[in-house]
Amino acid sequence: MKSKLGVGMVGCGNICPNYVRHCRQYDVIELVACADLDVERAKARAKEFEIPRACSVEELLADPNVDIVLNLTVPAAHAPVNLAAIKAGKHTYCEKPFAVTREQGREVLDAAKAKGLLVGCAPDTFLGGGIQTCRKLIDEGAIGQPVAATAFMMCRGHESWHPSPEFYYKAGGGPMFDMGPYYLTALVNLLGPIRRVAGATRISFAERLITSKPLAGTKIKVETPTHITGVADFVEGPIGTVVMSFDVCAHNLPNIEVYGSEGTLRVPDPNCFGGPVLRNGPDGKWEEVPLTHSDQIGRGTGVADMAYAILYGRKHRACGELGYHVLDVMHAFDESSRRSQYVEVTARCEKPAALPAGLEPGKLDK
């Protein structure tokens, strides 16, 4: 049996350096190839990070040394690349969102199941020390019975800093599909799956002006909601309030809070792997809780966890079912707004298994 799996990276854009660095923390995976529609960009990344092979996407999918395809393409390409990888007999792990449409996501899951392959999906930030510490506290009853939660992600959009921000305002983009997966995945990890959603959505500004280089001065037509607010009822009982916006200049609200019968937990930024974690008990005082899990990990941890699952026959945490559940929930907010009614979430998943506390760096099992 193999002790290490080869990873082939498809998509060599903005996020790939983060994955490359942190995938190399784990001895169960090895980055063996990279590919991009622009092969020259793949070659540049291969040279930059000493990746053994740079090639076309087709060549990477045919490479027998690639066991897992790491799909870092833009959202519209997530499902097509996943399906091509599955057809080639590869396990696949993609950036969020799992797909643009529910139909695409379902097709990916069904194709993988038919071939006996695993699919996974970012974010894996919920595996970091901050959110895993929160999970441990909730599981141990540190705030009593969870009754509610809030999640806020509000900013003025990405056109002021991102080199190519157009896709954020197309189908599969917007604050819900861009940042919602971090917040919703964190909430599902802490409180379990969501059963129904009510939402209100809008496009506040029909056009956006890019002020970042190299596209400064270019106008973007906005085609997806940029302010989304609503409530999510969890299967286990708690009610969540969610606001995701690219239309807010400033705010002073927490990222995530979980409210229990015996206290409140302030959860750190779910786009990060660390802390701080704050708890407020019956005495009304906030206290910082030391992390029980390592925060010295990064993007790529979900890929390594998938490799553990393949090699040792256990479930993986950032799995396709979780990614598809979050995709269904995100669509439900906009669907609810258009219908003016609650929308049932039909895609189900299990609450991911908690990581053991005190793991050594580069390890995901005891």
Joined tokens for residue 286 = 């906030």
pLDDT at 281 over 90: no
Contact 25, 361 (CB under 8 A): yes
Q: Give the chain's mean pLDDT.
A: 96
**Confidence (pLDDT) at 282:** 81
Joined tokens for residue 247 = 């239309």
Joined tokens for residue 260 = 């229990």
Query: What is the band of 219 on the pLDDT scale with cuts at 50, 70, 90?
Result: very high
Contact 20, 31 (CB under 8 A): yes
Residue extents of the structural domains in the chain: 5-121, 126-289
pLDDT at 181 over 80: yes
Q: CA 159 to CA 163: how far, in whole Å?
A: 8
Task: Kindly give the pairing relationship between strand 68-71 and strand 5-10.
Answer: parallel
- The amino acid at residue 52 is P
Class of domain 126-289: alpha beta
pTM: 0.96
Q: CA 347 to CA 106: how far, in whole Å?
A: 9
**Confidence (pLDDT) at 284:** 85
Class of domain 5-121: alpha beta
If DSSP states are collapsed to H, E and C, what string results for the chain?
CCCCEEEEEECCCCCHHHHHHHHCCCCCEEEEEEECCCHHHHHHHHHHHCCCCEECHHHHHCCCCCCEEEECCCHHHHHHHHHHHHHCCCEEEECCCCCCCHHHHHHHHHHHHHHCCCEEECCCHHHCHHHHHHHHHHHCCCCCCEEEEEEEEECCCCCCCCCCHHHHHCCCCHHHHHCHHHHHHHHHHHHCCEEEEEEEEECCCCEEECCCCCCCCCEEECCCCCEEEEEEEECCCCEEEEEEECCCCCCCCCCEEEEECCEEEEECCCCCCCCCEEEECCCCCEEEECCCCCCCCCCCHHHHHHHHHHHHCCCCCCEHHHHHHHHHHHHHHHHHHHHCCCEECCCCCCCCCCCCCCCCCCCCCC
Q: Which of 343, 322, 342 is nearest to 187 (CA)?
A: 322
Q: What is the pLDDT of residues 305-342, one digit of tens each?
A: 999 999 999 999 999 999 999 999 999 999 999 999 99
**Confidence (pLDDT) at 2:** 83
Tell me how crowded residue 216 is: count the other CB atoms within 10 A of its CB.
11
**Confidence (pLDDT) at 283:** 83
The percentage of residues in the chain with a pLDDT greater than 70, rounded to a whole number, is 100
Q: What is the pLDDT of residues 44-65, one digit of tens each?
A: 999 999 999 999 999 999 999 9
